[in-house]
């Protein structure tokens, strides 16, 4: 109890107690939220480290029977790298253009609409993206299952993420910079290409890396587009291909120990790639602040 | 802000160029007119035209893409929907490739909604608590560090969650499920009639909850950080404790934003595929007893059935995917509208 100018400022014990209790609850909820992260990482590392080996990383599953030990993940790594590269090549320029339109050429009704639907598209279930490319590319255009089809499906998922994060980064570019460029008599598009984009490039790169990380772990679309393959297939343009998440899914459905061991080793490989991308991207942004 | 166009409601600079000053500088140019118009040589105007065309073309492409997704799903789903008729919405079983095909999404849609709602029930309190802790109790460096750890939850691929779910979480949850049945079995939802435990809707919901949590937490964190500091200070000046400040100043202000965040989480849970496919032991029944093994969702069913399905079966799966697309589209559009409205209100826009 404090006394100020003869007036008692009184916070009752009960109210203070409630506040303390709630603060405690909030702290507990943070612990509960982080528990699964710790558990998933701990289990994946401890179980995956046992099964991971050089031969696992350098061999495919060709000729490995359903219950045989051995076999590896090489073919899946090749597939994932190609599919994600295709997705990035397609979605990054397009996503950037969308962001540029919304930020630099907005506001207009179209810009608002585009921004809204880009947001809505970030919630598109990944399996629906897979179904779309299956119906459109694999069936309607009769291209069959391939790494390219998987890349297209991943691009559909990556596009809104790239567009959204680039948009945020472009907004951070101070308008004074734009105005100064215009004052030099430079047309708007030149100002965007040579001043605005380079200024935002570090942030945009971070966004792209996060998008790549997200898409690398996507399984559902690959199931319907790359379809999976036990052998190494270098060409993404023809025939079914494997991918790391897909490989993991096929091994995880088994009840046999040798197979599940491969699943954990694959999980460790995948999680190392994804988390490395994520953490590096975040550290890059954190540095800049 | 920008001299040649009015303030865009969605954008605001962080401390640079207070809006409203430069806007009123008189200008000869009309809104959206290229700055270069007055003096630029023709080559510049061509460049401007091409660049602008590219940017707006890319934007139109995004809108077309959503239309194309709906169109191509509909194209393949049409025959399957015709084959099944209205039974598509009432039939529980899934035998689309049988000579006497019987398939429908009754059990699948039920499982999708049930598992998602259950996941939200578990995830939302924790997510809101986390968001409040990070914005109200630990702003600053430690809060940011914890915040990026929570964001890391969203970076773990769903197939890894599925693997962890089926081999680690499910066995660990069995005693919990047994305890719930023994002590709360009088609630029909938590009653297990068989005495066998394991890959239940409940277990799938726990995994879903983990995956939904970072999304709800991230967006509500954003919402809470938009609450004007003055509101908090006013509450504190009136003698409010920390919790009372949250209850009186923060929560009411962020209410619709929280609703939007929860709905975005719902959208994610509805569409989650692989983790559910791995954790749930697929069965096609409408069963409210969430502790009993079995159950299925639209997305998980597509993942598990696609490989073995014939062309008719795949069309049927696409039809179910179309329903999922429609549901998540509605959920996401409503959620985004709600979040947009909060953001506009926070910025004092229209």
Q: pLDDT per residue over A89-112, tens digit each?
A: 999 999 999 999 999 887 888 898
Chain A contact set for B331 (CB, 8 A): 123
CB contact under 8 A, A136 and B68: yes
Give the per-residue pLDDT at B15. Answer: 39
Of A30, A117, A188, the CB nearest to B146: A30
Work out the end-to-end distance of chain B between its first and last CA atoms, rounded to an integer number of angstroms: 17
CB distance A138 to A144 below 8 Å: yes
Cβ <8 Å between A22 and B127:
no
Q: Which tens digit of pLDDT belongs to each residue from B159-207?
A: 999 999 999 999 999 999 889 888 888 888 888 888 788 889 999 999 9
Question: Residue A45: its pLDDT value, please?
Answer: 94
Query: Is residue A126 exposed (0-12), middle (13-18) or buried (19+ Cβ within 10 Å)?
Result: buried
Same domain assignment for residues B48 and B139: no
- pLDDT at res. B2: 44
| CA A209 – CA A278 distance, rounded (Å) | 7
The CA distance from A238 to the nearest CA of chain B, in Å, is 19
pLDDT at B226: 85
Distance from CA of A97 to the nearest CA of B (A): 5
pLDDT of B113 above 90: yes
Indicate whether B16 and B45 sit together in one domain.
Answer: no
pLDDT of residue A287: 65
Could you say which of A19, A97, A270 has the minimum Cβ distance to residue B58? A97
Q: Which residues contact A135 (CB under 8 A, 6 or more apart)?
A: B72, B73, B75, B76, B318
Closest CA in chain B for residue A94: B58
Nearest to A252 among B148, B152, B166 (CB): B166
User: Rounded to a whole number, what is the distance in Å from the CA of A54 to chain B's nearest CA?
Assistant: 21
B21, B40: one domain: no
Q: Which of B35, B148, B217 sits opposite A182 (nearest CB)?
A: B35
Domain count, chain B: 3
B201 and B52 in a single domain? The answer is no
* Model pLDDT, residue B43: 56
Alpha helices in B140-289 (DSSP H): 141-155, 158-164, 170-184, 201-225, 229-237, 242-245, 251-271, 274-279
* Tokens describing residue B312: 């008719």
Residue B257 has pLDDT above 90, yes or no: no
Residue B89 lies in a domain: no
CA distance A109 to chain B (A): 11
Judged by DSSP in three states, A172 sits in helix
* Token pair in block for residue A239: 């025939």
**Cβ count near B184 (within 10 Å):** 12
- Are A215 and A81 within 8 A, CB to CB? no
Provide the whole-model pTM: 0.87
* Same structural domain, B173 and B320: yes
Find the CB nearest A187 among B3, B34, B149: B34
Nearest-Cα residue of chain B relative to residue A267: B160
Under 8 Å CB pairs connecting chains A and B tally to 321
User: Closest partner residue to B72 among A41, A140, A219, by Cβ?
Assistant: A140
Here the tokens at position B77 are 């789903």
The superfamily (CATH) of domain A56-288 is MetI-like (1.10.3720.10)
Which of A2, A4, A23, A33 would best serve as a mutation to test chain B binding (most B beta carbons within 10 A)? A33
Share of residues in chain A with pLDDT > 90 (%):
53
Query: Closest to A29 (Cβ–Cβ): which among B130, B160, B271?
Result: B130
Given a cut of 90, whether residue A86 has pLDDT beyond it is yes
Region class of A239: left (phi > 0), else alpha (psi between -120 and 50), else beta: left
B254/B304 same-domain check = yes
Whether residue B105 is contained in a domain is answered as: yes
Cβ burial, residue B100 (10 Å; 0-12/13-18/19+): exposed
pLDDT at residue B26, as a whole number: 46
**Distance, in angstroms, between B349 CA and closest chain A CA?**
13
What does the alpha-carbon distance between residue A1 and residue A10 come to, in Å, rounded to a whole number? 5
Structural Rg of chain A based on CA atoms: 25
The DSSP code sequence of A114-136 is: HHHHHHHHTT--HHHHHHHHIII
Minimum distance, in Å, between the CA of residue B34 and any CA atom of chain A: 7
Q: Is the pLDDT of residue A234 over 50?
A: yes
Same structural domain, B201 and B67: no
Distance to chain A for B137, nearest Cα, Å: 8
Residue B255: what pLDDT? 85
Q: What is the pLDDT of residues B121-148, one digit of tens each?
A: 999 999 999 999 999 988 788 888 898 8
Q: Look up the domain containing B283 and give its range.
A: 94-346
Give how far B255 is from chain A: nearest CA, Å. 18
Cβ–Cβ below 8 Å for B159 and A134: no
Angle A180-A183-A185 (CA atoms, 0-180°, nearest 5)?
125
Nearest CA in chain B to A101: B55
Instruction: Tell me how far apart the alpha carbons of residues B238 and B247 are, in angstroms, rounded to a whole number.
Output: 13
Question: Are B155 and A187 a contacting pair at CB < 8 A?
Answer: no
> Is B5 in Cβ contact with A171 (below 8 Å)?
no
Mean residue pLDDT of chain A comes to 89
- What's the confidence (pLDDT) of residue B206? 95
Query: To the nearest whole percent, how much of chain A has pLDDT over 70?
Result: 95
Do B42 and B105 fall into the same domain?
Answer: no
d(C-alpha B81, C-alpha B312), whole Å: 11
Q: In 10 A of CB B206, how many CB atoms?
A: 23
- Residue A252's contacts (CB-CB under 8 Å, 6 or more residues apart) are A260, A263, B159, B162, B163, B166, B167, B278
Which residues from B are below 8 Å from A26, CB to CB? 129-130, 132-133, 136-137
ipTM of the complex in this document: 0.89
Residue B59: Cβ-neighbour burial (10 angstroms; 0-12, 13-18, 19+):
buried
Residues B236, B307, single domain; the answer is yes
pLDDT of A252 strictly over 90: no
- Longest Cα–Cα distance of chain B, Å, equals 82
Contact B62 A118 (CB under 8 A): yes
Across the interface, whether the CB atoms of B155 and A274 are under 8 A apart is answered: yes
Any idea of the CA torsion for B234, B130, B117, A224, to the nearest 10 degrees?
A: 130
Sequence-ordered list of residues with C-beta below 8 angstroms from that of A18, at least 6 positions apart, any chain: B241, B243
Q: Do B332 and A260 touch (CB under 8 A)?
A: no
- Res B31 pLDDT > 60: no
Backbone angles phi, psi at A122, to 5 degrees: -65, -20
User: In a 3-state reduction of DSSP, which class is residue A65?
Assistant: coil
Q: Is the pLDDT of residue A2 over 60?
A: no
Domain match, B40 and B21 both: no
CA A104 to chain centre: 26
Task: Please report which helix (H) or strand (E) contains residue B102, including its range.
Answer: strand B102-103
Q: Are B244 and B122 found together in one domain?
A: yes
Residue B337 tokens read as 């509208």
C-alpha triplet B188, B190, B193: angle, nearest 5°? 75
């Amino acid at each position: 109890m404090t006394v100020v100018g003869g007036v008692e400022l009184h916070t009752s014990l009960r109210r203070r107690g409630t506040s303390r209790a709630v603060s405690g609850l909030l702290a507990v909820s943070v612990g509960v939220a982080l528990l699964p992260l710790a558990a998933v990482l701990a289990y994946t590392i401890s179980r995956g480290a046992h099964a991971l080996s050089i031969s696992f990383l350098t061999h495919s599953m060709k000729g490995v029977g359903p219950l045989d030990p051995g076999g590896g993940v090489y073919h899946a790594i090749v597939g994932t790298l190609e599919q994600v590269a295709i997705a990035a090549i397609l979605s990054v320029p397009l996503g950037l253009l969308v962001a540029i339109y919304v930020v630099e050429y907005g506001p207009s009704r179209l810009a608002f609409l585009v921004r809204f639907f880009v947001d809505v598209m970030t919630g598109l279930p990944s399996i629906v993206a897979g179904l779309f490319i299956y119906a459109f590319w694999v069936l309607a255009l009769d291209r069959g299952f391939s790494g390219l089809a998987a890349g297209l499906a991943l691009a559909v998922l990556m596009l809104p993420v790239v567009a959204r994060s680039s948009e945020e980064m472009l907004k951070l570019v101070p308008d004074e910079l734009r105005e100064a460029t215009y004052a030099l008599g430079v047309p708007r598009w030149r100002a965007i290409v040579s001043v605005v984009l380079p200024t935002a490039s570090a942030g945009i790169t971070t966004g792209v890396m996060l998008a790549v990380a997200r898409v690398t772990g996507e399984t559902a679309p690959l199931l319907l587009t790359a379809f999976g393959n036990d052998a190494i297939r270098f060409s993404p343009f023809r025939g079914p291909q494997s991918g790391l998440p897909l490989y993991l899914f096929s091994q995880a459905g088994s009840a046999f120990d040798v197979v599940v061991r491969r699943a954990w080793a694959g999980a460790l490989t995948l999680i190392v790639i994804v988390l490395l991308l994520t953490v590096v991207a975040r550290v890059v942004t954190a540095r800049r602040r | 802000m920008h001299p040649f166009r009015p303030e865009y409601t969605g954008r605001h600079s962080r401390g640079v160029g207070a809006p409203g000053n430069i806007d009123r500088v008189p200008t000869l140019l009309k809104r959206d007119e290229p700055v270069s118009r007055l003096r630029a040589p023709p080559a510049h105007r061509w460049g401007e035209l091409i660049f602008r065309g590219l940017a707006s073309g890319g934007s139109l492409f995004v809108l077309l893409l959503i239309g194309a997704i709906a169109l191509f799903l509909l194209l393949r789903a049409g025959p399957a929907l015709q084959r099944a008729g209205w039974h598509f919405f009432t039939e529980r079983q899934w035998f689309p490739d049988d000579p006497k095909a019987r398939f429908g999404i009754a059990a699948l849609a039920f499982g999708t909604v049930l598992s998602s709602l259950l996941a939200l029930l578990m995830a939302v309190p924790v997510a809101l608590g986390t968001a409040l802790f990070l914005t109200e109790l630990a702003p600053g460096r430690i809060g940011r560090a914890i915040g990026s750890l929570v964001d890391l939850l969203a970076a773990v691929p769903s197939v890894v969650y599925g693997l962890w779910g089926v081999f680690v979480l499910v066995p660990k949850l069995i005693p919990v499920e047994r305890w719930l049945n023994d002590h709360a079995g009088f609630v029909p939802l938590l009653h297990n009639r068989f005495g066998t435990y394991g890959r239940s809707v409940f277990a799938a919901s726990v995994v879903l909850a983990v995956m939904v949590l970072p999304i709800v937490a991230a967006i509500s964190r954003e919402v809470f950080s938009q609450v004007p500091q003055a509101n908090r200070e006013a509450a504190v000046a009136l003698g409010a404790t920390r919790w009372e400040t949250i209850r009186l100043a923060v929560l009411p202000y962020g209410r619709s934003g929280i609703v939007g965040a929860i709905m975005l989480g719902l959208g994610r849970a509805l569409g989650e595929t692989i983790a559910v496919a791995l954790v749930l032991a697929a069965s096609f029944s409408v069963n409210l007893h969430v502790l009993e093994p079995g159950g299925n969702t639209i997305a998980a069913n597509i993942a598990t059935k696609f490989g073995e399905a014939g062309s008719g079966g795949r069309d049927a799966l696409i039809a179910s995917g179309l329903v999922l697309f429609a549901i998540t589209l509605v959920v996401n559009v409503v959620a985004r509208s709600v979040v947009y409205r909060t953001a506009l209100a926070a910025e004092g826009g229209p």
